Homo-oligomer: A and B are copies of this chain.
Amino acid sequence: MYIHNFSAGPSILPKTVFEEASKAVIDFTGNGLSILEISHRSKDFIKVMDEAEALVRELLSIKDDYAVLFLSGGASTQFFMAPMNLLKQTDKVAYTDTGTWASKAIKEAKLLAEVDVVTSSKDDNYMHLPKDIVVNNQHKYLHITSNNTIYGTQYATFPEVAIPLVCDMSSDIFSRPFDINKFDLVYAGAQKNMGPAGTTLVIVKKSILGQTERKIPAMLDYRNHIENGSMYNTPPVFPIYVSMLVLRWLKNLGGVGVMEKLNTTKAAVLYNEIERNPMFYCPVHQDDRSKMNVNFLLHNSDLEQKFLDHAKSYGCQGIAGHRSVGGFRASIYNAMPMEGVNVLVEAMKTFEKSFG
């Protein structure tokens, strides 16, 4: 049976990427060397790194005033690297509390600056994105999480504030166009829309660096990574290579504008079924529903295991909801085809017939 992978991350990637990556593990250079054994200083890998950076710039319209870096350590490392590189210890900064990862970002930033949590939807179990964001010109930036993977919320439009944004875009980068000029820094773990686990994309405005007066360990200083083209030390070669293949696939498909339309359609089909089907409901506020992670619940929660089994019989895997929300979560990232969503909808319809 064909498996439809709805995992929240690491998650589905294009099949053609797996095929090419699989071959490269055996012979990448054409003379029998694996992508896993070549030097990161070899011309073969430098080409990969250059193409990966160029694709990020092209797909997201990023000019030379921003650096594009492929680092390691995940978004969790950016939670402290961002404030460490952007703030003095006495600086004030504004954070939004919109979920588990946003809370972790706040906790890390508090070690490194004076953090104002300017808004929170915790009382609502993060089921909406609060719009009452008030910042002042003492705040060096406003930190937001563009898409909250666990809670299934996503900013339809980014907050309009008079200070720069810093954004954890881990779970929806490359899903739609955005204007980088509103951001001092954007970071994203690869393992949703960009590639496999093991590398982290950082896009940072170069002119804001070097003002912190801190002593920063070399590996944590963006400037070292910029100077060395993401090769200050040995980079995670294979995760970067696969990310490059995914970005190439996205470009060939038409880029993030085309992808946004596909994502909008996929999400609409799934949310429409949740609304139509009398057995299910979506707990997330209508305006803030994510096009990447679709959360839904059964009115009769006693049937949860039955629906998981039923969906599994259709090949739908990875749809158990996070324990903080319960129910179900279908992650429908860029690489999830319309066909996969249709199969899940079909499973919901037949479940209604059997148990409704």
Contacts and interface: CB of A to CB of B under 8 A. Distances in A.
A10 to B, nearest CB: 6
A37 interface: yes
A130 to B, nearest CB: 25
Given A13-B37, A197-B235, A198-B237, A73 B219 contact: yes
24 contacts: A2-B32, A3-B33, A10-B36, A10-B37, A11-B39, A13-B36, A13-B37, A21-B25, A22-B22, A36-B242, A37-B196, A39-B318, A73-B219, A75-B233, A76-B218, A76-B219, A77-B219, A79-B217, A79-B219, A80-B219, A189-B234, A197-B236, A197-B237, A197-B238
Interface hub of A10, A77, A189, A220 (most chain B Cβ within 10 A) = A10
A238 B72 contact: no
Contacts of A162: none
A175 interface: no
A127 to B, nearest CB: 23
A313 B69 CA distance: 37
Q: Is the interface of A mostly helix, strand, loop or mixed?
A: loop
Interface stretch (A103-111, A176-184, A271-279, A286-294): A103-111
Interface in A200-259: 215, 217-220, 232-239, 242
Contact of A237 (B13, B18, B77, B196): B196
B7 A34 contact: no
A19 interface: yes
Contact of A1 (B21, B31, B42, B104): B31
* 9 tightest Cβ-Cβ pairs between the two chains A and B: A198-B236, A80-B217, A76-B233, A22-B25, A36-B196, A72-B72, A197-B237, A74-B233, A18-B34
A152 interface: no
Interface string A38-78: 11101000000000000000000000000000001111110
B107 A218 contact: yes
Interface hub of A3, A74, A196 (most chain B Cβ within 10 A) = A196
A340 interface: no
Given A2-B32, A9-B39, 11 more contacts: A7-B37, A10-B38, A12-B37, A36-B196, A36-B242, A107-B218, A108-B217, A111-B215, A197-B238, A198-B238, A238-B238
Contact of A33 (B5, B197, B218): B5
A191 interface: yes
Interface of A: 1-3, 5, 7-13, 18-19, 21-23, 25-26, 31-34, 36-40, 42, 72-77, 79-80, 104, 107-108, 111, 189, 191, 195-199, 215, 217-220, 232-239, 242, 317-318
Contacts of A195: 36
Nearest to A242: B36
Nearest to A216: B111
Contacts of A80: 217-220
Nearest to A71: B73
A189 B235 CA distance: 11
A232 B73 CA distance: 11
A198 B72 contact: yes
A11 B196 CA distance: 21
Interface hub of A8, A219, A318 (most chain B Cβ within 10 A) = A219
A306 to B, nearest CB: 21
Contacts of A40: 10, 197
